[in-house]
């Protein structure tokens, strides 16, 4: 079961009250951006895994990949926009892109902090034997997916044997200084139709279990709610649980999350150069107002746009909130 972007928005719109009305009742006529700080770039949808909860719908069969021309335009914008201090590279498995390492090197040469959103098992793919060393040498922050410290919970979401490989990858990264001198942050997401737990408490549990069982250290744990789009929405629909999950999100709506939403300080660029307010809007083909493609990018226009919202946004505003950097309130 797969749904197109328009069909997903229709399903979400029919099964929950309008998100923009919630925002309006919170005292905001619309969501407006703050200073642009993060340039997030999705370099392609190929991935060596096909996780059940993946909002990108990435897999080994996907071939979409950013062209050199588009990447050059991204680098030009990054270099010409002083407020951008971080380049956040995602996919798919971004490291599998032929130009990934060049993009990292050139972003670092521009003086930008670089984040690699890593699935960990990519370190063991053919041709990636020196990937961990490359990332460490260039002081790249790693944000790594690890749904749980229990093997069964992780493998249930990400595939058989993924937990074991992830542990081996984390040990390799620790040996290179990640988790101490170099930033290594983990991402947790729930395995069912419920919200992430308390981030601080879960971080303590992850830290204690990974250290005691595997000798692994890390810096921070980021809790991210499952977004009701793509594969997770399909699973909800198959199980007849879409309305239940959306009700959970709506009832947990927290207006205090609105100031910290990631869409207010970042730009999200797709592999084809299309521009979005966030990675989730990207997966629903909701291009940004005023600037729909990097060919048309203007810092002034992007900074004064209204941020596009729809009912999937409940995922980022439920409980303590959710973002690419974890809880926001």
In-domain check, residue 86: yes
Q: Which of 174, 165, 42 is nearest to 100 (CA)?
A: 42
10-29 pLDDT, tens per residue? 999 999 999 999 999 988 87
The domain tally of the chain equals 1
Kindly give, in sequence order, each residue whose CB lies less than 8 Å from that of residue 1, ignoring residues fewer than 6 positions away. 234, 237, 238
45-95 pLDDT, tens per residue? 999 888 776 778 788 889 999 999 999 999 999 999 999 999 999 999 999
In-domain check, residue 323: no
CATH of the domain at 52: 3.20.20.70
Supply the pTM of this predicted model. 0.95
Q: Which of 94, 55, 59, 56 is nearest to 74 (CA)?
A: 94
Q: Which of 102, 175, 173 is nearest to 142 (CA)?
A: 173
In-domain check, residue 329: no
In-domain check, residue 30: yes
135-181 pLDDT, tens per residue? 999 999 999 989 888 888 887 877 888 899 999 999 999 999 999 99
pLDDT of residue 186: 96
**How far apart, in Å, are the Cα atoms of 299 and each of 83, 266, 296?**
10, 12, 10
Burial of residue 101, with CB atoms counted within 10 A of its CB: 0-12 exposed, 13-18 middle, 19 or more buried: middle
**How far apart, in Å, are the Cα atoms of 132 and each of 89, 106, 178, 215, 256?**
15, 18, 10, 18, 38
Q: Does a cis peptide bond (omega within 30 degrees of 0) precede residue 92? A: yes
pLDDT of residue 194: 78
In-domain check, residue 228: yes
Q: What residues make up the domain containing 10?
A: 5-317
99-143 pLDDT, tens per residue? 999 999 999 999 999 999 999 999 999 999 999 999 999 999 999
SS3 content of the chain, % helix, strand, coil (to 5): 45, 15, 45
């Amino acid at each position: 079961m797969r749904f197109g972007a328009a069909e997903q928005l229709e399903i979400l719109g029919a099964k929950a009250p309008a998100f923009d009305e919630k925002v309006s009742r919170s005292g905001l006529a619309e969501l407006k951006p703050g200073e642009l700080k993060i340039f997030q770039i999705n370099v392609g949808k190929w991935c060596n895994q096909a996780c059940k909860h993946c909002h990108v719908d990435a897999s080994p069969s996907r071939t979409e990949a950013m062209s050199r021309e588009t990447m050059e335009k991204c680098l030009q914008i990054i270099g010409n926009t002083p407020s951008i201090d971080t380049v956040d590279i995602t996919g798919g498995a971004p490291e599998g892109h032929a130009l990934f390492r060049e993009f990292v090197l050139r972003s670092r040469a521009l003086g930008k902090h670089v984040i690699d959103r890593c699935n960990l098992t990519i370190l063991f793919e053919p041709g990636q034997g020196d990937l961990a060393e490359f990332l460490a040498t260039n002081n790249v922050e790693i944000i790594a997916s690890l749904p749980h410290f229990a093997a069964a919970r992780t493998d249930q979401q990400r595939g058989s044997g993924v937990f074991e490989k992830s542990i081996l990858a984390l040990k390799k990264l620790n040996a290179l200084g990640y988790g101490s001198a170099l930033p290594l942050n983990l991402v947790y997401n729930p395995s069912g139709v419920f919200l992430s737990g308390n981030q601080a408490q879960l971080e303590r549990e992850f830290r204690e279990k990974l250290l005691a069982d595997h000798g692994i250290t890390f810096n921070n744990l980021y809790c991210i709610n499952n977004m009701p789009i793509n594969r997770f929405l399909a699973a909800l629909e198959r199980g007849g649980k879409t309305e239940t999950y959306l009700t959970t999100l709506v009832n947990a709506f927290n207006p205090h999350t609105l100031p910290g939403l990631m869409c207010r300080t970042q730009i999200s660029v797709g592999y084809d150069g299309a521009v979005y307010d966030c990675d989730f809007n990207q997966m629903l083909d909701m291009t940004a107002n005023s600037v729909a493609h990097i060919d048309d990018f203007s810092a002034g226009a992007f900074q004064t746009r209204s941020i596009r919202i729809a009912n999937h946004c409940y995922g980022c505003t439920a409980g303590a909130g959710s973002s690419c950097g974890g809880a926001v309130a």
